Every structure is written in C-alpha cells, then in structure tokens.
Amino acid sequence: MTTLTKTEDAPAPTGPESFLSVRDLKVQFSTEDGIVKAVDGLSFDVERGKTLGIVGESGSGKSVTNLTILGLHNPRSSSVDGEIVLDGKELVTATERELEQLRGNKMAMIFQDPLTALSPFYTVGRQLSEPFMKHRGASKKDARDRAIQLLEKVGIPQPKARFDDYPHQFSGGMRQRAMIAMALMCDPELLIADEPTTALDVTVQAQILDLLKDLQQEFGSAIIFITHDLGVISNMADDLLVMYAGRAVERGSVREVLGAPKHPYTWGLLSSMPRLDGDINEALEPIPGSPPSLLNPPTGCPFHPRCAFKDEVPGTLCTDSRPPLGEGRASACHLTAEQKQSIFIDKIQPRLR
Amino acid sequence: MFQFIIRRTVGALVTLFLIGAATFFLFVAAPSDYASLACGKDCSPARLEDIRQALGLNLPIHQQFWDFMSGIVMGRDYPTGHCSAPCLGQSFYSGDMVWSTIMDRFPTTLTLTAGGAVVFVIVGVGAGMIAAYRRGTLIDKVATGVSMVLSSFQIYVLGPIVLLIFVYSTGWMDNPAYHPITEDPWTWFTGMLLPVLVMATIFTAQYTRMARSSMIEQLAEEHVRTARAKGMSNKYVFFRYAWRGSMIPIVTVLGIDISAMLGGAVVTEITFSLQGIGRLAVDGAVHKDLPLTMGVMLFGAFFILIVNILTDIAYAYIDPRVRLS
C-alpha cells in the first residue's frame, strides 16, 4: 500500500510572508518504553495581528508544539525535526543564546496554571521586571514603571502597591493577569497562550479574553491560542487548527471549521460539547475510545479506531494509509468531499441544534 | 519576628523541662541504681546508706528532681563547694561538676560539628548542584557514583582505614587529638583534620545526592520553565529560581544533622578516641551516672531546640509564603 505521509513534507499552505511558519515539525521523546512521537509532521502559519486557535484532546501535541517553538523542550530527552521560522529566523537550529534573546522579547508565552507558573520566591514586580531589564537593558526604575503600567493595563487594582506583593498574595485571576502582563513586558510580536483561562472562573475568563483581544489590537501581535474549549476558541481565534495524535487533522478559518467541519474528529469534538440551551434529557455524545498511545500510534489514519465513519471509506484505506492534510482549508480524512458534506448535514448537524 | 522568637523560646523552655523530667524518671525507673553499683561486692547496708546519703539518693524522687532542675537556674550547694548556675549537678562516678565537664568537652564537639558542616555544605551541596547543572554529563556521573559509594561507608570503617594510612603506616600525621584553638591554631587544625574529614566525607556524600535530586526536582518546576520562557539565561534560572526552592529540604536536614552533632558525634569521637560530648553520653549511660546523663541529654536537647528555631527562621527567609507567626 502506498503511504501518503510524504505529501505533507511538501511545504506551503501560504507564501513566505507569514510571520511564524512551522513546517513538518516532528518532536520525539525517547522514554524507557520507546520513542513517543508527540508531534508528527505538523505545519501551520500565523500572521501578524491574527490569532490561530489550536484545539485537541490532552496529549494531542498542542503544548509540546508551542514549547518547542520557544525552545523550552528538554533537549536531552527529545529530538526536534522540521522548520520553525519566526520572522525569517530559523528557530529549530538556533543556539540557546539566540533563543534566550528571543524568548520573552519577540515571542512570549502565557502559561496555563498561574499558581505554579509564577515563582513563589520573588515578588510579582521583580518577576515582571526581569525580562524588561534583560532584553531592553532598562534600569530597575524604568522596569518598575513599565511593570506598573502593564499591571494597570491588565486590570490589577493599585498596581503600585501590588508591585511588591508575592504571587501568593494575589488571587487566581490576578495571578493570570500578572502572567499576561509579564508576557507583554517587551511587546512580543508572537504571543503563545497555553490554555490561559482554564484555571479561572467564567466571568474572569471573559475579562481575560477581552483583555487579550484588546492588547492584540493595540500591539498587533500574532497569537497562538491553545485550548480545548471550543466556545473560547470561537470567540478568540481567526484560524483554527484541530490536532489529533500529534498531527493536524483539520485546518481553516474558525467560521469554516466550526460551521462546516469536515473531519470526523472535529464532528466528535462538537457533538461532545454541552450546550446551555440543549435538552437536558439528551445525553452528550462523547467520542468513543480513548486518545491513541503515541508510543505505538495506530497505522494509517490515527483516528480510525475511534472513527464512526470508516466503513464508508472503500477497502482498508483508513487502516493502511495516513490521509494527507491538503493546503488552505483542509481536513485529513479519506472520506470524499461529497461524503463529508452529506454526513455532516444528515448526521452531525441535527445533533448540534 | 520578635514575637516569634519569644514564643518559640518559651516553648523551648517547656520542652526542655519535659525532656528533663522524662530522662530523670526513666533513669530512676531503671532496675539498677548507682549506689549499689558503687558499693561493690561486699556491701554492708550501712555503707550503702552512706553512699546514698552522699549522693542525695536517700531523698524522695520528686525532691531529687526538684533539686536538679532548680540547680540549673539557681545553682546548688554541695559539701565540696558551691555549684553556680547553670548547675547540672555533680557526677556520681567522677565527682566532677557536670557543667564544667561538658564545657571541657564541648570545644571538641563544636570543632567537629563546625568543621564538618563547613565541608559538607560547601563541598557536598556544591558538588550536588554542579552535578544537577551538568546533569547527564561525565561530571554528574562521577559525582553521583562517588557519593553513592561514600555514603554507603560508615565512619567506623573509613576512620580506622584513614588512621592506618595517615598515622600508623606513614606517620604523616599525629594521632588525632583536640588542642584548644586559643593555644595554637595549627595544632588544633591538624589534630582535628582527620576526624572532621572522615565524618564530613560520609555526610558530604549524602548532601551531594540530596542537593542534586532536590535541584533537579526544582528545575522541573513550572515556575522555573516560566523564567526560561522570559529569556532568562540558564545560569540565572538555575541560581535564582531553582536554587531557592532546592534549599528548603537541605536546610531541614542540615538543621537536624547539626543539632544532632552538637549533642555529641558518638561514633566519630569513639573511632578517633576524642573526648567530646558523645563520649560523655556513653559514659553516663554505662556508669549509671544520673547527673551526667541528665546534663548531656539537656545540653543536646538545648541545641536541637535552638537549631529548630533557626531553621524555621531560615525557612521564612527562603520562602516568603512561610510566616513566622
């Protein structure tokens, strides 16, 4: 049987103008049990001023991808292949020193859990000031002014007094705001937000999302927004990448992917989402099975063991060959375009109403 | 802070009293008494009674206890003279004042402790941190391997080997002994060098392993990753972010070790025939010498309590989440 994996090696959903371009990224961890292919041939682009949403189950490679962009993966236990080009600069082959210059400066990351992601040993102000002093060569006083200004911008009351507080003296929402302020200290052109609102309650979540949108408008940064909350993503992102087992299975604008999804996994994600106006007697439909082991991923299409529609594909195509992800608006599935459309309209859409 | 120290000091005094009481009554409850031991084989009841009287053992137990404890604060009068506070009584066996005996022996123990602590904090913790910084390299493997071997040694194994090599066969050094530092710092140094190094070697190995694992654990913390994500250099992240957290377990164990050693490093002292507090503790138990045992016990407990308070202050200094109130 032919393997179609090769086609993904061919670069280029878009031209050279994209600000961040990831091509055929492969991240592998060697563990005692074998090699884990955490990210296996991923390509995407992000433009300035745009937000790319990445959704997928736990273990689908979302976070690993973004840690790799910053070069924060463990170099001893992992190997990285492929290209990550940020504004013309290749990051996979960059030295640690070059990456240091970029991190917190040109690219910054907002982490998931603000309780553990801020150091308990230093004041919020000091933690905010450090990158500014390092990257801009600013004096302590300038860094302090900048930090207070940003703390105010992210909505921390009395930022002057709060500057000298420790993270444990902040509430959860304030810590997350401080985290965002920290990422923004040097006006990063690329901002990676790894589930920045997961640990927060819904009202605070909405405030933080609004804040990120405002800041994006102001600074024109590119944002990569990782989440498994489809509601949040529809609110935040311009483009959407659906990941499964370390690969992208569907790509397109948010409107396209959420409005007319073309991949059985995306259908599953949408069907399993609870709706406020849904019938309370109707059970949610989870995707059957569990995420595949990345040590020993399924042959062919990694989603085939859980796919309800693989019988519609002739022969053993699903188990034998990995479906390629085309360019632009695309989904990695062996179903024909007509099949995808009719299945979605007949079987999936009614469930979402 | 001030309030904390006051509160902990009062607590420590109560604890000391309770430890004293427990030691005293446990000792008295033991099925042998010093008087009949001292009296020997052909013991007449009259002679026994004399000895008991001379030692104050004829008094009711609570009276004996009160005399002892009040003596610590107010001093005591003996037929041989006044014993000024802090009076830990008069040794049954040697007749010497326990406090002055302890004070004679303490410099030896203090030298062992201080010398050992300096070596194992600097060398042990330092080697562990270097191993963690260069994790997976040859340096790490050597440090881990050597510390593994050394920490499975015992002082009474390593001690005689070292003595054999440096003293008995080659004569490079004199037999270890304590000479007061005030008389001649050089003989003080050379006299205590071997015992300090042998004891420190074993502790050092443990500290290396602990510092390494504690450091590696901290380096995996999310806040350390955040610091790297800000573009801070590896060195900065290592020494500012990871180091701070890794000190907490080290300070804990250091506190326990130092206070235990100040109460007497029994094995080291006996291995090297040094006259320290540890040796006194053994003597007290062997000779059923109540005042000596009480004295050494309270002296050791005192250091444990003091070091505990200092450890808590250190915690608060390291970790701002810890409050001293």
Interface check for A109 against chain B (CB to CB < 8 A): the answer is: yes
Name the minimum distance, in Å, from the CA of A243 to any CA of chain B.
Answer: 24
Residues of A in contact with B321 (CB under 8 A): 120, 166, 168
pLDDT for A76 beyond 90: no
Smallest CA–CA separation between A239 and chain B, in Å?
A: 25
Does B230 contact A130 at a Cβ distance shorter than 8 Å? yes
Burial per residue of A268-291, b for 16 or more beta-carbon CB atoms within 10 angstroms, e otherwise? bbbeeeeeeeeeeeeeeeebeeeb
pLDDT in the model for residue A9: 44
pLDDT at position B258: 92
Residue B269, judged by CB atoms within 10 A of its CB (0-12, 13-18, 19+), counts as buried
Tokens, residue A150: 């940003």
Confidence band for A353, pLDDT divided at 50, 70 and 90: low
- Chain A and chain B share a number of CB contacts under 8 A equal to 75
pLDDT tier at A329 (50, 70, 90 boundaries)? Answer: confident
Taking CB atoms and an 8 Å cutoff, what residues of chain B touch A166? 320-321
In A, which residues are within 8 Å of B233 by CB distance? 100
pLDDT score of A289: 82
Judged by CB atoms closer than 8 Å, whether chains meet at B231 and A76 is answered as no
Nearest Cα residue to B232 out of A184, A72, A151, A181:
A72
The confidence score (pLDDT) of residue A16 equals 53
Half-sphere exposure of A227 (CA within 13 A, CB side): 24
pLDDT-based confidence at residue A17 (cuts at 50, 70, 90): low
Rounded to two decimals, the pTM is: 0.80
Q: Is A48 helix (H, G, I), strand (E, B) or coil?
A: coil
Q: Does A121 touch chain B (CB under 8 A)?
A: yes
pLDDT tens digits along A222-255? 999 998 888 888 888 999 999 998 889 999 999 9
Tell me what pLDDT residue A259 has: 87
CB distance from A120 to chain B under 8 Å? yes
What was the pLDDT predicted at B187? 86
Residue of A99, A121, A224 to mutate when probing chain B, most B C-beta within 10 A: A121
Q: Which residue of A has its CA nearest to B243?
A: A121
CA distance A264 to chain B (A): 35
Question: Residue A346 is encoded by which pair of tokens?
Answer: 């007949």
B225/A104 CB distance under 8 A? no
Mean pLDDT lowest among A14-18, A60-64, A272-276, A332-336: A14-18
The CA distance from B223 to the nearest CA of chain A, in Å, is 4
Contacts of B222 in chain A (CB under 8 A): 111, 113, 116-117
Q: From the CA of A171, how many Å to the nearest CA of chain B?
A: 14
pLDDT over 80 at A3, yes or no? no
**Domain positions in chain A:** 117-186, 261-352
Q: Which residues contact A18 (CB under 8 A, 6 or more apart)?
A: A45, A46, A47
- The reported pLDDT for the residue numbered A311 is 82
Q: Do A76 and B223 touch (CB under 8 A)?
A: no
pLDDT tens, residue by residue, A21-47: 999 999 998 888 888 888 988 999 999
Summary mean pLDDT of chain A:
85
Cβ-defined contact of A116 to B222 (cutoff 8 Å): yes
Tell me the torsion sign for CA atoms A55, A58, A59, A63. Answer: positive
State the DSSP H helix or E strand holding residue B146, giving kind and residue range, or none if neither.
helix B138-151
Ranges of residues in chain B with a pLDDT under 50 are none
Whether A133 has a pLDDT exceeding 70, the answer reads yes
For each of the domains in chain B, give its residue range(s) and CATH number, in order of start. Answer: 2-83 (no CATH), 98-318 (1.10.3720.10)
Q: With CB atoms and an 8 Å threshold, state whether A113 touches B222.
A: yes
Residues 191-250 of A with CB under 8 A from B: none
So what's the pLDDT on residue A120? Answer: 92
Contact B221 A166 (CB under 8 A): no
Does the distance separating the beta carbons of B318 and A121 come in below 8 Å?
A: yes
Of A76, A130, A166, the CB nearest to B320: A166
The Cα–Cα gap between A171 and A182 comes to 16
Q: Nearest residue of B to residue A98 by CA position?
A: B231
CA–CA dist B224, A116 (Å, integer)? 9
Residue A135: its chain B contacts at CB < 8 A?
Answer: 231
As a whole number of angstroms, the distance between CA B142 and CA B253 comes to 24
Q: Is the pLDDT confidence value at A10 over 60?
A: no
Which residues in chain B are contacts of A117 at CB distance < 8 A? 222-223, 225-226
Is A77 touching B (CB cutoff 8 A)?
no
Mutate to test the interface with A, among B218, B223, B241 (most CBs of A within 10 A): B223
**Using CA atoms in the order B247, B106, B302, B82, what is the torsion angle rounded to 10 degrees?**
-160
**Whole-angstrom Cα distance, residue A174 to residue A12?**
40
